[in-house]
Amino acid sequence: MERSPDLSIRVGGAAGDGIATLGESFARLFTRNGYHAYGHTAYQSVIRGGHVWFHARGSPDRVWSQGDGIDILYAYNEQTAEIHAPYLRKGGVMVHDPEKFQFPADRLPAGTRAIAVPTLQMSRKYTSDPILSGSAAMGACTFLAGFPFDTLAAILQDNFGSKKKDVLEQNLGTAEAGYRFVQERERPIERAFAPNHGAAKLLITGNQAIAMGAVAGGCKFLAQYPMTPASTIMHWMAAHAADLGIVVKQAEDELAAINMAIGASHAGVRAMTATSGGGFSLMVEALGMAGMTETPLVVVNSQRSGPSTGLPTKTEQGDLDLMLGAGQGDFPRAILAPGNVVEAYRQTIEAFRLAEDWQTPILLASDFGLSENLQSADREDFPMDLTPSNLFSSLPRSENGGFRRYAYTPSGVSPRSIPGQKGLNFVAGSDEHDERGHLISDVLVGTPAAVVERRHMMEKRMRKLEGLRSEVPMPVIEGPESAQLTIVAWGSVAGPVRDALAELNSDGIRVNFLPLNCVFPLRVAELGKALVHAQKTLLVEANYTAKLGGLIRKETGIELSHRLLKYDGEPFYPAEIVAKVQRILKGEVN
């Protein structure tokens, strides 16, 4: 199968230079013209200073990652040129302002060139602020990519239309000056796209998709303490809370956030909290309380590099063991791991359903690469006509003097009521309890009856785990049925794996892919069936200790034969995966 062409535009500079706005605008150039896009953002944890960059990639077909190589590079400063110019592909160009810095031609890769654009001079027509020069460079890059100025003008209208009129006019003026300057002297690059490829597409981040999925899943309460890279979930929810009838509470810390969410759920509304690994570490005791009280709860853990503060604006998948063991003792949970924005939306909806149906916490494992990067999608990928079920419509009334909130049932799921309903009152304590919620530590401690009650109640709760296992996503192989090698990955790592798979298969190398959208509980039988006939396997994970590989070995007894692990905070690139597969198939690695 022949791969579709792609086009990549990268912009870099210092924090505070408006790099994210420029980069997102480049990504929108693709989607406004009907192309799919992926936008990768890379920034430091400092407010100003430090090198930051944004990579926008487009293609007629879906693109799953930032890809490999650069076609158009806008270097805001010399540091950007030094770091990123070596990755220019043949035929690529670097746009820069010669007044800012000079860059010798012999330092560019063969077959590439630099285009000098006087962006500062263009911006001085309006202001002495150098940040306006970015709009002039945006105009230059827009022409080189093959897109009409009208598309860029519409994007700038969206970016600056709510500001003072002269701000919009200044950005439009400098952008058009940059566009016309290059148009008079250059042609679009060889890989340039034709405009108006089709209908415009959506362009959203994983966090926006999670927030939208929460709304579609019936969420009515979010409590959260800001922590990168989960913070923008709260930003989106707060911005739309009034229109959607959702209460959004910025808590004083993560402990308060999860306990507020538990309280809201206990009172009868669908509730969620979101954080990253450091904040999730603080939540684990309360998570255990939700398990003991059998309170539905959705918790988003958007992972970043650790331990401790680690690399707060970089990606990793290092929290799997933490999520598996979070909360003292055993209680049922599921850990869903979406790999792209569409899965993030749909699996958030599923997380709310599972939490309510099985009355237990459900964890949504995201990471920086999914949470903050932009991806295109079609509108039909995000259905909004999903109505939450009526959770309390057929509850039994009180019997024999009390409502059996924790009644023993074959599935482990007991009747549930909203506190205050007549005849349905119950005790919900964090201690072990009997069917009516009465604490056995108060009335039965030290007796044989207490031992029996504890054993039965524990077994009741844990029966939910098998029910969850039967409902979580089935592992499905992607790619050729007969393959020389099977790749296994989870979360956002699935993106570069899919891009690598397309390249390998187009070169006649038969490789398939097993993405795991649920990492716990694993569907052991189906997973074993999918892997047992694999000729060779390659585990691709963004952590040091191959955490998913260890879990698969523990649950199925299958040892994945090869590993590609990354723990430097940077995303996987398809070329890295392609090279590893080629080395394995050539017998160059054991």
Element (H, E) at 53: strand 51-59
**Domain's final residue, options 146, 172, 200:** 200
Tokens of 374: 């932009």
d(CA 349, CA 272): 12
> Do 62 and 95 belong together in one domain?
yes
For residue 513, what pLDDT is reported? 98
In a domain, 51, yes or no: yes
Same domain, 45 and 138: yes
**Contact between 374 and 205 (Cβ < 8 Å):** yes
Q: Is residue 429 part of a domain?
A: no
Same domain for 252 and 132, yes or no, is no
Q: Could you list the beta-strand ranges (E) of 354-509.
A: 361-367, 374-377, 485-490
Residues 193, 254, single domain; the answer is no
Q: Are 234 and 222 in contact (CB under 8 A)?
A: yes
pLDDT of residue 2: 61
Q: Which residue has the tokens 């406004």?
A: 32
Residue of 82, 26, 95 whose CA lies nearest to 54: 26
Is residue 214 domain-shared with residue 187, that is, in the same domain?
no
403 belongs to a structural domain: no
CATH number of the domain enclosing 526 = 3.40.50.920
Q: What are the pLDDT tens digits along the chain (590 aa)?
A: 566 789 999 999 998 899 999 999 999 999 999 999 999 999 987 766 789 999 999 999 999 999 999 999 999 999 999 999 999 999 999 999 999 999 999 999 999 999 999 999 999 999 888 889 999 999 999 999 999 999 999 999 999 888 888 899 999 999 999 999 999 999 999 999 999 899 999 999 999 999 999 999 999 999 999 999 999 999 999 999 999 999 999 999 999 999 999 999 999 999 999 999 999 999 999 999 999 999 999 999 999 999 999 999 999 999 999 999 999 999 999 999 999 999 999 999 999 999 999 999 999 999 999 999 999 999 999 987 654 554 544 455 555 557 999 999 999 999 999 888 888 989 999 999 999 999 987 666 667 888 889 999 999 999 999 999 999 999 999 999 899 999 999 999 999 999 999 999 999 999 999 999 999 999 999 999 999 889 999 999 999 999 999 999 999 999 999 999 999 999 999 999 999 999 999 998 86
Within 163-253, residue ranges assigned H as helices are: 165-183, 206-216, 231-244
526 domain residue, yes or no: yes
Q: What is the DSSP letter of 439?
A: B
Round to the nearest angstrom and report the end-to-end CA distance of the chain.
30
56: closest CA among 29, 78, 82, 33?
29
Tokens linked to 462? 């844990």
User: What is the rounded CA–CA span in Å between residue 530 and residue 192?
Assistant: 41
CA distance to 282, 450, 535, 564, per residue, from 561 (Å): 36, 47, 10, 11
- The reported pLDDT for the residue numbered 401 is 55
Among 381, 411, 426, residue at a domain's last position: 381
Asked whether residue 247 is assigned to any structural domain, the reply reads yes
DSSP 307: S
| Joined tokens for residue 78 | 């010399």
| 54 φ, ψ (degrees, to nearest 5) | -140, 135
Sign of the Cα torsion 324, 327, 332, 334 reads negative
Same domain, 65 and 111: yes
The percent of the chain in helix, strand and coil, each rounded to the nearest 5, is 40, 20, 40
**CATH number, domain at 105?**
3.40.920.10
Q: Are strands 562-565 and 374-377 parallel, antiparallel or unpaired?
A: unpaired
Domain co-membership, 70 together with 166: yes
pTM recorded for the entire structure: 0.95
Domain co-membership, 116 together with 69: yes
Cβ 372 vs Cβ 304: under 8 Å = no
Q: Is residue 423 a part of any domain in this protein? A: no
Rg (CA), the chain: 26
Place of tokens 């220019």: 88
Residues 161 and 14 in one domain: yes
SS (H, E, C) 507-574: CCCCEEEEEECEEECCCHHHHHHHHHCCCCEEEEECCCCCHHHHHHHHHHCCCCCEEEECCCCCCCCH
CATH number for 290: 3.40.50.970
Pair 187, 108 in one domain: yes
* Residue 80 located in a structural domain: yes
Measured CA distances, 364 to 219, 279, 388 (Å): 14, 14, 19
At 294 the pLDDT is 98
Q: Assess whether 350 and 498 both reside in one domain.
A: no
Burial class (CB in 10 A: 0-12, 13-18, 19+), 410: exposed
Tokens of 520: 């716990």
Note the pLDDT of residue 590: 66
Which domain-ending residue is among 381, 405, 439? Answer: 381
Q: Is residue 566 part of a domain?
A: yes
**Nearest C-alpha neighbor of 73 from the set 99, 35, 47, 103:** 103
The pLDDT assigned to 443 comes to 61
Question: Residue with structure tokens 């190589």?
Answer: 69
Count, residues in the chain = 590
Same domain, 216 and 364: yes
Q: Nearest-CA neighbor of 416 among 400, 396, 434?
A: 396
pLDDT at residue 236, as a whole number: 98
Parent domain of 341: 204-381
Backbone angles phi, psi at 10, to 5 degrees: -125, 140
Separation of alpha carbons 89 and 105, rounded Å: 15
Total domains, the chain: 3
Q: Quick one: which H or E segment has residue 113?
A: strand 113-116
Residue-level pLDDT at 551: 98
